[in-house]
Chains A and B, each alone.
Chain A
């Protein structure tokens, strides 16, 4: 017969009531022993597809990393544009435009449009 059954039926505490003294009486050895027994009696549950099931149902990751990548891309495009603008022979173009009687406003408008198109294309290409 299991020892538990005997104590459960015949033990002093068969009625289920405990005195205050018993409640206060903490036995560290018993605590350690009980902790060990509880852990010993616990099986390790194999993953058995559980983790995969969780991972499949997770939403797409929070895209903070993507936002960081996007900022980097914009930065690179701005930097490239600045280098192009720095190296661009604006004086010569303006002089040539004056010689050819091309309106300054139409030239500037064309330049701005070209820049916007180039930046947009660069960003789209970089994102891909």
Chain B
């Protein structure tokens, strides 16, 4: 039976039910790991470590979670803080070979072989990192501008501006695909 986040959290906090937390981890692991891979410049091992840390930190802090925000927003905020803190401590020293190797082994060829996916990826790389993150959170993850602002620790207006600029830029870069879809 699929319980909602609130019920699972109640069971974890009040009954110490770790199986309920396992359910939450399974629910969000794919999305969070994928998001962190973007944030870690494709370093999958680092992204998975950060995601694991985030889940553990969230578990420890769960009794203090008051439910003002959605659990997913709160979890993302923890994860983003961890990555940003890691980045501040460690200069950007990405093992590009490891990244390339890992990406070559990915089992997402189906999606990546499609021209659309490849072009979308290329278009996203044209954006600045904050714009890419804002678009990812708002348009891919479905967070509101307010939630994205709280995750990214940026003023609401700045996030809206990032989203608008990124959207306009993508609209231009992906115009041909749009026209193809519209014209059938």
Contact surface of A with B, Cβ cutoff 8 Å: 2-8, 11-13, 16, 18, 22-27, 30-31, 33-35, 37-47, 50-51, 53-55, 57-59, 61-66
B26 near A63 with CB under 8 A, answer no
The contact of A11 among B15, B168, B175, by CB within 8 Å, is: B175
A61 near B16 with CB under 8 A, answer yes
Do A7 and B120 form a contact, CB below 8 Å, given A50-B51, A64-B16, A65-B16? no
Residues from chain B with Cβ under 8 Å of A50 in the complex:
25, 29, 33, 48, 51-52
Residues from chain A with Cβ under 8 Å of B30 in the complex:
44-47
Nearest CB to that of B175 among chain A residues? A7
**Alpha-carbon distance between A16 and B29 when the two chains are bound, in angstroms:** 35
B176 near A18 with CB under 8 A, answer no
Residues from chain A with Cβ under 8 Å of B165 in the complex:
18, 23
CB of B60 closer than 8 Å to a CB of A: yes
Nearest CB to that of A2 among chain B residues? B119
Main secondary structure on A side of the interface with B: helix
Main secondary structure on B side of the interface with A: helix
B116 near A34 with CB under 8 A, answer no
Binds A, one of B83-91, B121-129, B150-158: B121-129
Interface residues of B in 102-139 (CB under 8 A from A): 106-108, 111-112, 114-123, 126, 135-136, 139
A22 near B25 with CB under 8 A, answer no
Do A61 and B17 form a contact, CB below 8 Å, given A34-B139, A43-B108? yes
A33 near B123 with CB under 8 A, answer no
Max count, chain B CB within 10 A of own CB: residue among A11, A27, A34: A34
28 pairs, A vs B, C-beta closer than 8 Å: A2-B115, A2-B122, A3-B115, A3-B176, A3-B177, A3-B180, A4-B173, A4-B174, A18-B168, A22-B168, A24-B164, A31-B139, A34-B174, A35-B142, A37-B117, A39-B140, A41-B120, A43-B106, A43-B107, A44-B30, A45-B34, A46-B30, A47-B26, A50-B51, A53-B52, A55-B18, A59-B60, A64-B14
